[in-house]
Amino acid sequence: MEGYEMEPMDQILIKAQTLIEALPYIQKFNKKKVVVKYGGSAMLDADLQLNVIKDVALLKLIGMQPIIVHGGGKEISKWVSLLGHESKFVEGFRVTDEETMEVAEMVLGKVNKGLVQMIEQLGVKAVGISGKDGATLKVEKKYVSGQDIGYVGNITEVNTELINTLIDNNFVPVIAPIGLDDDFHAYNINADDAACAVASAIGAEKLAFLTDIEGVYTDPTDKNTLISVLTLDKADELIQDGFIGGGMLPKLKNCIDAVRNGVSRVHILDGRMEHCLLLEFFTNRGIGTAIINNESILFEHEKVQ
């Protein structure tokens, strides 16, 4: 046919093999809740964002129940700076006064609806909420190393009613990390904390953190030290021995908490890598770092270390 180039047969076969390879994973995760934490610099590029959202849409369309918990810290910092202020963090948590809270809420609201728009455009139903809606995320003030850093919340309770209602009605819930305290004041929540609390509360099968590094390293400057599978004991050991720093420290602590709270599989993935979610969920490659219970049964690809 003129203007139509036939795809070579071997490439067509590779595609078929990829689909067959995905079959056991599609069966395993059918109807299972999976939480995707999307944040960091992996959120900044529009093309990458669309790829991530396409992956989530696909997860939904083949029968899984994805929930997105998103961040937007870089975008909040941009707007704080445009207003002539400087962002301050204590151990990775943003110091949040009244004005910063207002900015955070506006920015996270915009990010939230942007993600919903993309999912809807792909023909999948989505609803964006913050932890205020249905009092989904209840918090108390968080003290970081004894310091009061303003309206930063520690999650005390996840009310799963609204999330489950959305899932049961075929919507992908998209959750912004804002909570309410007992006086109904708004609080800013670190998105990793929110993802971990949501995944534990709804009994998620899997929690995937999309971040801006390939996974956990014993030495982040040496690409050969990427760890594919990390048991809880080993993760505790790495933290105690000072191998984990920066934003990875609270992230890994959240991963440990999630596994201890019954989430079977917790993954740290490189959100800058195209279709990292699909590669992790549906192929034997096993990318990023999996944090697992000491007694977890490994998939075949995870045994090959």
Ligand X SMILES: CC(=O)N[C@@H](CCC(=O)OP(=O)(O)O)C(=O)O
Ligand Y SMILES: Nc1ncnc2c1ncn2[C@@H]1O[C@H](COP(=O)(O)OP(=O)(O)O)[C@@H](O)[C@H]1O
Q: For 87-126, what is the HEC assignment? A: CCEECCEECECHHHHHHHHHHHHHHHHHHHHHHHHCCCCE
Q: What is the DSSP letter of 133?
A: G
248 binds, among ligand X, ligand Y, none (CB under 5 to 8 A by kind): ligand Y
How far is residue 97's CA from residue 149's CA, in Å, rounded to a whole number? 8
184-203 binders of ligand Y (CB under 6 A): 192
Picking from 148, 188, 292, the residue whose alpha carbon sits closest to that of residue 233 is 292
Question: Is 128 a residue that touches ligand X (CB under 6 A)?
Answer: no
Cβ-based nearer residue to ligand X, 189 or 199: 189
Is 131 marked as a binding-site residue? no
List the one residue from 84, 242, 245, 295 that touches ligand Y (CB under 6 A): 245
| Contact window for ligand X (CB under 6 A) among 184-192, 196-204, 269-277, 282-290 | 184-192
Q: What is the DSSP letter of 242?
A: T
CA-based max dimension of the chain? 72
Question: Is 53 a residue that touches ligand Y (CB under 6 A)?
Answer: no
CA 110 vs CA 71, 249, 255: distances in Å: 11, 28, 27
String of contacts with ligand Y for each residue 204-223, x by CB under 6 A:
-------xxx--xx--x---
Is 285 marked as a binding-site residue? no
| CB-CB contact of 75 with 107 (8 Å) | yes
Which ranges in the chain belong to alpha helices (H)?
A: 9-28, 46-61, 73-82, 98-121, 161-168, 191-202, 232-240, 248-260, 276-282, 300-303
| Contact window for ligand X (CB under 6 A) among 13-21, 67-75, 160-168, 228-236 | 67-75
220 binds, among ligand X, ligand Y, none (CB under 5 to 8 A by kind): ligand Y
251 binds, among ligand Y, ligand X, none (CB under 5 to 8 A by kind): ligand Y
Is 190 marked as a binding-site residue? no
Interface residues with ligand Y (CB under 6 A) are 39-40, 192, 211-213, 216-217, 220, 243-248, 251
Which residues are annotated as part of the binding site for substrate? 72-73, 94, 188
Interface residues with ligand X (CB under 6 A) are 39-40, 71-73, 76, 93-94, 104, 152, 177, 188-191
Which residues are annotated as part of the binding site? 72-73, 94, 188
